[in-house]
Structure 1
Amino acid sequence: MAQISIEKYQDSDFKEVISILVSSFEKKFYHRQNLTMDNIENILYSIWDIKAENSSYVHFVAKKDGKVVGAILIRVGKQLKSNKKIPFFNLCYHYGFFNMLFLIFKLFVLERFTVEECYVEHIAVDKFIRGNGVGELLISYAEEVLSGMGFSSLSLVVAESNIAKHLYDRKGFKEIEHISSRFKGYFIGINQWVFMRKNLIKKVKENY
């Protein structure tokens, strides 16, 4: 297998990252929605506004032969207000008001974040390359960078039934809280979640 490289996210990676996110979280995106994969990707292209220079996040991609095969997005500070103009009514016209409103709720329903800690908003790996350690590489690289920035912990939320939880267990994440939410179940299709946190080894703060 060709070597996997981990790199800082660039704006030119945007469409590939969106494609991987939609395919990785396919069941969650499709839950209670009458949208195709292409529909969902097109909507996310129009409403997602995370630029490479956004200081609220650290964002890395895994690449194989120059193609994005994985991504991890970690919030490290208060979210900055977006200046992107979302063509909401135009999107509603093409995809339906209910579909748009429901999808937007989905993008926020899993959020659990405090300014004092780093939080993994998502980690996704191309389904054709899973099982080759890409997720572990992304987490390890992110931990190294976050430690160098002076952060002391990293947290995330994962579905209890998600096999990715075994990876987080191996990487030293500890279960902090079990969450049962019918609200999340209605929007995502999964009721049972686990909030996990890992303490990081603090290093001398570096510029990033």
Structure 2
Amino acid sequence: MTQISIEKYQDSDFKKVISLLVSSFESKFCHRQNLTMSNIENILYSIWDIKAENSSYLHFVAKKDGKVVGVILIRVGKPLKSQKKNLFFHLCQRYGLFNMLFLIFKLSVLEMVTSKDCYVEHIAVDKSMRGNGVGELLISYAEEVLRGRGFTSLSLVVAENNSAKHLYDRNGFKDIKHISSRFKEYFIGINQWVFMRKNLIRNPQGKILKVK
């Protein structure tokens, strides 16, 4: 398999991570949106505040030859308030009020979580690297860190028809609830979702304990 390193996210990775996320979730970001991918990247550069030292998240990147080819962000606590300056009015002047409001609502829909578990906010792999085990490496690495910190479960939400669901099935995530959401369908074009959870507790022999 192609040699991949998993590293803790650094602030210097910010723009590369944003670019990867936008290209990976292009259909969701661009749904009903009168903005180009370049526009969306520029807006996210301005409004997202993803800091390496934020203790509310575990954040790792996969790299090949120094290039970011994958990313996973896991929420482990209540998010800290962003320290980034609000450029909303400036961005509205540049991209239009409706486009900005729609994109912000879309981001809130993507981040809408009711689970109190550790939660995968997003995981993305560069299109050119899919099928090389990058997603599994990111998940496995993150799970070991979570176990080391005493966390007992990890959850996520995935679109029911997303091929990534097979990855989660293989890695021990179980379907907990199937969700139908017209609200999400309107903003990001997908109606059917699955809430999944994985137990992270090991027994003394090192095996994963089953949850009934």
TM-score (norm 2): 0.93
The whole-number CA distance in structure 1 between the counterparts of 2:36 and 2:55 is 33
Instruction: Name the residue aligned to 1:206.
Output: none
Give, in angstroms, the shift of residue 50 of structure 1. Answer: 1.4
Alignment of 1:175-186 (within 5 A): 175-186=175-186
Instruction: Name the residue aligned to 1:117.
Output: 117
The whole-number CA distance in structure 2 between the counterparts of 1:9 and 1:104 is 24
The whole-number CA distance in structure 1 between the counterparts of 2:82 and 2:148 is 27
Instruction: Name the residue aligned to 1:45.
Output: 45
> Tell me, what secondary structure is at the counterpart of 2:154?
strand
> Match for 1:30: what amino acid?
C
Instruction: Name the residue aligned to 1:97.
Output: 97
Q: Is the 8 Å Cα contact of residues 148 and 202 (structure 1) preserved in structure 2?
A: no
Alignment of 1:5-154 (within 5 A): 5-110=5-110, 111-114=112-115, 116-154=116-154
List runs of 5+ in structure 1 lacking aligned partners: 204-208
Write out per-residue CA displacement over residues 90-129 of structure 1, whole angstroms, 9 at most, x where no aligned residue. Answer: 1011111111111111111132144x41000000000111
* Sequence identity (%): 82
> Match for 1:200: what amino acid?
L
> Match for 1:48: what amino acid?
W
The whole-number CA distance in structure 2 between the counterparts of 1:138 and 1:86 is 32
Number of residue pairs aligned between Structure 1 and Structure 2:
202
The whole-number CA distance in structure 1 between the counterparts of 2:134 and 2:100 is 32
Give, in angstroms, the shift of residue 167 of structure 1. Answer: 0.3
The whole-number CA distance in structure 1 between the counterparts of 2:102 and 2:117 is 28
1:163 has 2:160 as partner: no
Instruction: Name the residue aligned to 1:192.
Output: 192
The whole-number CA distance in structure 2 between the counterparts of 1:6 and 1:90 is 37
Deviating 4+ runs (over 6 angstroms): none
Write out per-residue CA displacement over residues 117-162 of structure 1, whole angstroms, 9 at most, x where no aligned residue. Answer: 1000000000111111100100000000000010000000000010
The whole-number CA distance in structure 2 between the counterparts of 1:112 and 1:81 is 17
List runs of 5+ in structure 2 lacking aligned partners: 204-212
Give, in angstroms, the shift of residue 201 of structure 1. Answer: 2.2
> Tell me, what secondary structure is at the counterpart of 1:195?
strand
Instruction: Name the residue aligned to 2:209.
Output: none
The whole-number CA distance in structure 2 between the counterparts of 1:130 and 1:25 is 14
The whole-number CA distance in structure 2 between the counterparts of 1:202 and 1:103 is 41
> Tell me, what secondary structure is at the counterpart of 1:3?
coil
Write out per-residue CA displacement over residues 146-201 of structure 1, whole angstroms, 9 at most, x where no aligned residue. Answer: 00010000000000010000000000000000000000000000000000000002
